[in-house]
Structure formats: C-alpha cells, structure tokens
Structure 1
Amino acid sequence: MPPKPSPRRSTLLAELSTASRRYMAAYALFNQAVADRLGLHPTDLQCLNLLGLEAAPVTTGRVAELTGLTTGSATRLVDRLERAGYVTRARDTADRRRVLVTTVPERMAEFGAVWGRLTGGWDGLFDAYDDDEIALLLTHMRRTAELSAVQIARLRAEGDAPDSP
C-alpha cells in the first residue's frame, strides 16, 4: 500500500489540479483566438502546427495519426486546409496510389508570422527558470503529450459509451 501523502503534497496536488484545468482552458481559448485571427478552425490550426513539425509531406492517414481523428475526419480537415490555401495534395511520385499532403510555404510563412508576433511573450516566461527547471518542464510536456495520446485513443475506442461509475 502506498504511503499516505503529506498534507503539503495533498494541498499541492489539489492546487496543481486547479492550475492545470485553468492552463488547459487558457490554451484552448488562446488557440481559438489564433484560429479566429487566421480564419481557421482550432483543430485545423493545430493540424498546421503538427504538419509544420513533419520533415516531409504526409498522407491523410498520417494526418489522422497526428491529430487523433478518424481518416474521414482527417480528410475533411485536409479539404478545409486545401480550400484555405494552406496545403496542396499531389500524387506520390514513388507510389502513384498514395496522395501526399504538402504545406504551402507562403501560407505557412503567414501562419509563422502570427506565431512570431506572439512568441516574445511566451519566451519571456522562461527567463525566470534555470536549465534544470526548463528540463523538468520539458519532461512534463512530453509526458503530458504521451498521456494525452493514450487518453484520446481510449476515448475513441469507447465510442459513444457512457463512462462507467
């Protein structure tokens, strides 16, 4: 049986729970504001963010993997991004059966310019942290992303089933 948490730890965990809920809500609202500024849906904005991290053009199946969407939803997302001029589709020259989604550099530059105007404030947040604290934050963010992927898969697997008590 695990040891009983100290009163301080219990208080800190309760504060962390509240702070993390506020953090997630603040980020979701920030994401919505940036998406509104660019005339995009928030999911489309994050898909562009993820596509910008990819080393090469990707299939719509990879878009589905990156976003946690079904392939049908990912196709509709790519359709919207294509209509907005952020991506193009082209047949893979190595395998003509595959269609690759490629970002449009000029539109991605516009996307990057909006982020660029905002990053100064974000970068300044980290000035108060030493290297070990930044490493801890980085570990936390990576672990959060991994757990989020697991939770998304779990929710998708459960479908429309209500949560068990």
Structure 2
Amino acid sequence: MFSNQINDDIHLKLLETRFADELFALSDKNRDYLREWLPWLDATVSVEQTRNFIQSTLKAYADNNGFNCGIFYKGRIAGCIGLHGIDWINKKTSIGYWLGADFQGQGIMTLACKAVIDYVFNDLSLNRVEIRAAEHNSKSRAIPVRLNFVYEGKVRQAEWLYDHYVDHMVYGLLKEDWNLHLNK
C-alpha cells in the first residue's frame, strides 16, 4: 500500500475503508467550508457513501490508474490528495486535493503536493502533472504557483458547482522543470 511519511507531523496513507468514519466526519464537519469549491459534498451524506468512494479509489489504485490518500496531520486525518487517473500513453496525470479548515495555513498541502509530485515523476516515471483550480479559489491556486507550475490558461465553465459554473485555471509541470527546480 502507498504510504509516505513526509515529516514528523505529516503522513500520506492510501485511503482504506477503515478510514471511512473519520474521513466522513471530517468532510461533514467542513461541509459548508468545502462546499464553496467541491461539487461532491451534497451527494456524500453518509459513512457508507464515503466507504464506497474509498472502495472505488482502491480499485483505481489496483488498476494502476491513480489513487487517493488521506493526509494525516499529527495522527488525525486532515484532508485528501490524489491522482485523477493516469494517461499512461501520454505519461501524464492531474492532482486533486482538499484540506479541512482547521488544517489550513500550515504548509500541509504544499508538502503533500510536493511528495505526490516526486512520486509521479520518480516512481511512476510520468512526464507531466496538472493542477486545475477554480478561478476564484485563491488558496488552491496558490499551491501550484508555490511549486513552480506554469500557468497554462483558463478552461471556461469547466465545472458545475451546485447552481453555477466555475472556470478552471490550469497549471502544468513537466518532469524536466521539476528536476531543474530541485537543483536550484
């Protein structure tokens, strides 16, 4: 199972069904906060639905088509990060993530993204990773900027968010750019 101990406080662990109660409690507690940017909250109203989501992510992992990890901070689940499928022919993927409100502003997500990017380029040998974030989601957009992704443009009305569309800002990172960044 995928696992990455980033530092003494932050640990990424592949989501397993044993985490369903804790993950649902976190998303439920942060429902209003997360609903601003995540379209799946209204459809996730039970632990069983969270368990089903985890089972689908374990199938994707078993099929070598992405994964979802819990981000654990000081032993507590703080959010999730994962790959939205893998395009093996073109050697690319995209990263998605969210963090509970109590865990914001501590650099947790930046470190989690950095660990996943290292995994994408060094372990999976992919060439490109992408992050998309809603245009007005400044916290989410700050992550790829901080990690030296290149802003590549806007996808208009990319996502239906309950009662309106949001535009996505697209950020891309190539393996060669990441290696240059690491050697600076």
Pairwise same-fold verdict (TM > 0.5)? no
Larger strand proportion of the pair: 2
Give 1 or 2 for the bigger CA radius of gyration: 1
Q: How does the TM-score come out when normalised to structure 1?
A: 0.30
Q: Which has the higher contact order (CA 8 A, sep 6+)?
A: 2
Larger helix proportion of the pair: 1
